[in-house]
A and B are shown apart, each in its own frame.
Chain A
Amino acid sequence: MPDPHYWRKPFDSDTVQSPKGTVIIIRDRCKGCGFCVEFCPRGVLVLSSEFNKKGYHPPEVANPDRCVNCDLCERICPEFAIYCLNQEEIIELAP
């Protein structure tokens, strides 16, 4: 389905595969700053309404399909509480 964000569609856009990422959120390390939610370029994250052990609202993945494994959340998190894995890396985790 064409991405509504682009007003010109490249001819080969149907053949291009975007990377796909899975967001890992280390919930209890989060201090609820909101940087990842605010600056994720793909709108993947929202602030959860739940609390973590520290009493903060950690992020949660609202749109998992939009993640392109860009690592912005990983870099912008001051707490080292969030990062992305690509498909191969997920498989390497324990089954």
Chain B
Amino acid sequence: MTTTEITPQQQEEADQRHPRSLLLRMDRMPHIWCSRCGIGIALGCFAAALEKTGLSADDITVTSGIGCTGRVAGYVKVDSFHTTHGRAIPFAVGLTLARPDLRHVVFSGDGDLISIGGNHFIHAARRNQNLLVICVNNFTYAMTGGQLAPTTPITARATTAPYGSFERPFNLPYLAASAGACYVARWTALHIRRVTDSMTEALQKDGFRFIEILAPCSTIYARRNKLGTGLDLMKYYYESAIIDHKASMRDLDIGFQSRIVVGKFVDEDRPSYGQSMNDHLGKVLGSKFVNPVTGLDGIPKDGGEK
């Protein structure tokens, strides 16, 4: 049985109709990421996950920081914020407390979220702030040319570690879980369906949710470490990734080109910061407690000045 051939006219129309184009700023395509970069895959999975949840794109915000992954905010067609280096999470904390009716996502890179943003990351996790944090981990600071990141595996080269890194990198799922995240998953860019499923279920939960996505950085991490291209890194994920949801989180460290343990490691339900705050204050203050005003209350019905 043959598949249908399409006419050039149909091709032209089909070119405009990529299934993700409703959720992406197609007026800004092509995006800036290199050939064989994995960030576009994470973005595509996010758009697909949004569709699967059935949530309206009007009810989502995306905040990102600085770096290659930080550019994601500029390509998603939702209310989006491209903030300063490391401060996407506290910015989003302000957003989520002001507009608890919307779903707030932080989408940024390993250096931005965990190095300069590390303090904000652990405190937001500790407080179970109502945020979905998607961390694309390419083991480097790619945008600025490939410096050492807190996730760079030992012996891998970076421009600020020209003789190879000797520093122990973070084990991100372990860090997130121990800080208090209620949903922790790690996948690679190859695990497109698992990534999409994780994002889909995480978008519908409350509390601090963390998804780490290992993604190939072709131009810098792969090339400078003589690992070939992003395609070779994807093949490495294929060969080395093991799915083990029950793995001990202490054993999730990643060595240079070592096996990678992926999976969904934590999936709990705990009240988020906002809920805990209102419950506690309501209990202590009784009738004197006034439920917090949200930004929704200040929006004039017909625009203009209230």
Q: A residues within 8 Å of B by Cβ?
A: 20-22, 24, 26, 29, 31-35, 38-39, 56, 64-65, 67, 72, 74-81, 83, 85, 87, 90-91, 93-95
Contacts and interface: CB of A to CB of B under 8 A. Distances in A.
Contact of A22 (B3, B190, B230): B3
A80 B1 contact: no
Interface of B: 1-4, 6-7, 9-11, 13-15, 17-21, 24, 29-31, 33-41, 43-45, 48, 189-190, 192-193, 196, 218, 230-231, 234-235, 238
A29 B196 CA distance: 23
A35 B230 CA distance: 9
Nearest to A18: B1
B44 A38 contact: no
A33 B100 CA distance: 40
A91 B38 CA distance: 33
Contacts, number: 103
A94 B9 CA distance: 7
Contacts of A75: 41, 44-45, 48, 192-193, 196
Given A29-B30, A64-B3, 13 more contacts: A21-B3, A31-B35, A35-B231, A38-B231, A65-B2, A72-B192, A75-B44, A75-B193, A76-B192, A79-B30, A93-B6, A93-B10, A94-B9
A24 B21 CA distance: 14
A35 B41 CA distance: 10
Nearest to B33: A78
B169 to A, nearest CB: 24
Given A29-B29, A33-B230, A38-B234, A24 B40 contact: no
Nearest to B234: A35
Contacts of A22: 3-4, 6
A60 B41 CA distance: 20
B14 A85 contact: yes
A78 B18 contact: no
A39 B190 contact: yes
A79 B15 CA distance: 12
Contacts of A94: 9-10, 13
A71 to B, nearest CB: 8
A17 to B, nearest CB: 9
Ordered nearest first, which 10 A-B pairs have the shortest CB separation? A78-B40, A31-B35, A75-B192, A33-B36, A93-B10, A24-B14, A90-B4, A26-B15, A22-B3, A64-B3
A65 B192 CA distance: 24
Nearest to A75: B192
Contacts of A33: 35-36, 218, 230-231
Given A31-B35, A64-B3, A80-B18, A39 B44 contact: no
Contacts of B1: 20, 65
B230 A93 contact: no
Nearest to B235: A38
Nearest to A69: B3
A26 B47 CA distance: 19
